[in-house]
Amino acid sequence: MCESKESISRRIIEEMKEVEKLKRELDEKTRDLAEVQELQKRAEQCIKMNV
C-alpha cells in the first residue's frame, strides 16, 4: 500500500526538524573545537616561553 501524501509530509517535516537539531549540535561542537584549539595554542605559547 502506498503512503499518503499527509504521512509523507509529516515524515519529511520530522526529518527536517532532526536535520536542524543536528545542525545546531554541529555548530555547538564546532565552536567548542575552536575554543579548544585556541586554548591549545595559548598553552603551547606558554610552554615555549617557560622553556
The pLDDT of residue 49:
92
Q: What b/e sequence results for 12-46 when a residue is b if at least 16 CB atoms lie within 10 Å of its CB, and e otherwise?
A: eeeeeeeeeeeeeeeeeeeeeeeeeeeeeeeeeee
In a domain, 32, yes or no: yes
In a domain, 34, yes or no: yes
Please give the tally of structural domains in the chain.
1
C-alpha cell at 35: 575554543
For 28, the domain range is 23-51
Confidence category of residue 51, pLDDT binned at 50, 70, 90:
confident
Question: What is the rounded distance in angstroms from the CA atom of residue 50 to the CA atom of residue 43?
Answer: 11
In a domain, 12, yes or no: no
Over the stretch 3-28, which tens digit does the pLDDT of each residue have? Answer: 899 999 999 999 999 999 999 999 99
Whole-model pTM above 0.95?
Answer: no
